[in-house]
């Protein structure tokens, strides 16, 4: 378990679109250990998917890595773009559009495994059957001969997970793994991913907007806002005792079955991603912001406890307590 499998240092990623620069990731530093599970949580546009794509070596052509490092298994992948594709598997968010409608599931597996160097068809089909069994399929022959439109959304989700696992990655990245499926299937997907981490010796990064999902899937949480990490640490500690005002407000905005209450929306909007930030990115929406400090000076991401980092002038070791269990 010990040691760092992935180390990200001061990563900046921009997009060029219609002659403008979109600042998607602004100075992210992060680590992932062997066998560790990490949830990257944030609103739409927070930069979490861009960060995941960078780790997977799957950024689009208009993305520009302005500075920083991504070191995977002791190799700086910014100098070797093909390397992460050998060690990182991405489970895409769009289940319905991720598989070619003109190929059977068997053909998709053969293509994926051939790209990994498995040239023997019999060996490839053996791996395909094994991983489909791992994700819970019993009628494997029917699944292999099916086209994507012949399978349900839940079945397609499991096929995509099986395809990702079949590549035998060191890191499995799941982008919003429960957002495109029926609520009744979410628990099954969560349990499936947890089982894969336990049985396949793989580390996992889950990208999600749903902070209530995080403790069920991951041991650690990193909260992203406007391209930056504003808080990260152990899931249990962050959910029981959030420190950054944004984390507190995220938790106050989610429904709780066991303790119904009026939800509190986060007022305002995130900063324009084309803008250059001077102070705290959350300052315009923060009810505790101090004018002349929070709007002028960017707070560093500081280690507050041995397992917690927070980017907030107001914290400095003081906890903002939330007494209810957000996952209930």
pLDDT tens-place string over residues 46-105 = 999 999 999 999 999 999 999 999 999 999 998 887 888 889 999 988 777 788 899 999
Among candidate residues 245, 246, 239, the one with its CA nearest the CA of residue 220: 239
Instruction: Report, as an integer, the average pLDDT of 156-178.
Output: 92
Domain that includes residue 212, residue range? 4-102+147-310
Here the CATH number for the domain that contains residue 62 is 3.40.50.300
pLDDT at 247 over 90: yes
pLDDT at 40 over 90: yes
15 in a domain, yes or no? yes
Find out whether 294 and 279 touch, Cβ atoms under 8 Å.
yes
CA distance 123 to 110: 10
Domain count across the chain: 1
212 in a domain, yes or no? yes
pLDDT at 328 over 60: no
148: three-class secondary structure by DSSP: helix
138 in a domain, yes or no? no
Token digits of residue 51: 């960060």
318 in a domain, yes or no? no
120 in a domain, yes or no? no
Does the pTM surpass 0.85? The reply is: yes
| Sequence-ordered strand ranges (E) for 190-328 | 203-208, 220-225, 228-234, 302-305, 308-310
124 in a domain, yes or no? no
12 in a domain, yes or no? yes
DSSP-assigned letter for residue 14: E
Burial of 244 (0-12, 13-18, 19+ CB in 10 A): buried
315 in a domain, yes or no? no
The Cα-based distances of 42 to 46, 245, 249 in angstroms read 6, 13, 12
């Amino acid at each position: 378990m010990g040691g760092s499998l992935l180390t990200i240092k001061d990563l900046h990623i921009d997009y060029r679109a219609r002659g403008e620069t979109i600042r998607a990731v602004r100075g992210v530093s992060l680590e992932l250990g062997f066998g560790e599970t990490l949830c990257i949580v944030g609103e739409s546009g927070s930069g979490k998917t861009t960060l995941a794509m960078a780790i997977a070596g799957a950024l689009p052509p208009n993305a520009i890595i302005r500075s920083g490092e991504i070191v995977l298994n002791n190799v700086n992948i910014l100098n070797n773009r093909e390397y992460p594709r050998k060690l990182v598997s991405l489970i895409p968010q769009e289940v319905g559009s991720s598989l070619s409608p003109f190929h059977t599931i068997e053909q998709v597996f053969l293509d994926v495994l051939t790209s990994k160097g498995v040239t023997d068809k019999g060996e490839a089909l053996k791996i395909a059957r094994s991983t489909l069994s791992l994700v819970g399929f019993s009628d494997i022959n029917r699944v292999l001969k099916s086209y994507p439109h012949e399978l349900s959304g839940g079945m397609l989700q499991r096929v995509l997970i099986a395809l990702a696992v079949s590549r035998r990655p060191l890191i499995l990245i799941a982008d919003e793994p429960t957002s495109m499926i029926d609520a009744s299937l979410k628990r099954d997907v969560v349990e499936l991913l947890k089982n894969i981490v336990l049985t396949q010796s793989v580390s996992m990064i889950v990208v999600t907007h749903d902070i209530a999902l995080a403790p069920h899937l991951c041991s650690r949480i990193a909260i992203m806002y406007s391209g930056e990490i504003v808080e990260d640490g152990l899931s249990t500690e962050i959910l029981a005792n959030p420190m950054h005002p944004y984390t507190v407000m995220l938790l106050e905005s989610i429904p709780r079955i066991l303790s119904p209450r009026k939800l509190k929306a986060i007022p305002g909007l995130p900063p324009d991603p084309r803008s250059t930030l001077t102070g705290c990115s959350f300052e315009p929406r923060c009810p505790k912001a101090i004018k002349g400090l929070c709007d002028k000076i960017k707070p560093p991401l500081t280690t507050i406890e041995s397992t917690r980092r927070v980017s907030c002038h107001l914290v400095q070791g003081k906890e903002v307590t939330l007494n209810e269990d957000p996952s209930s």
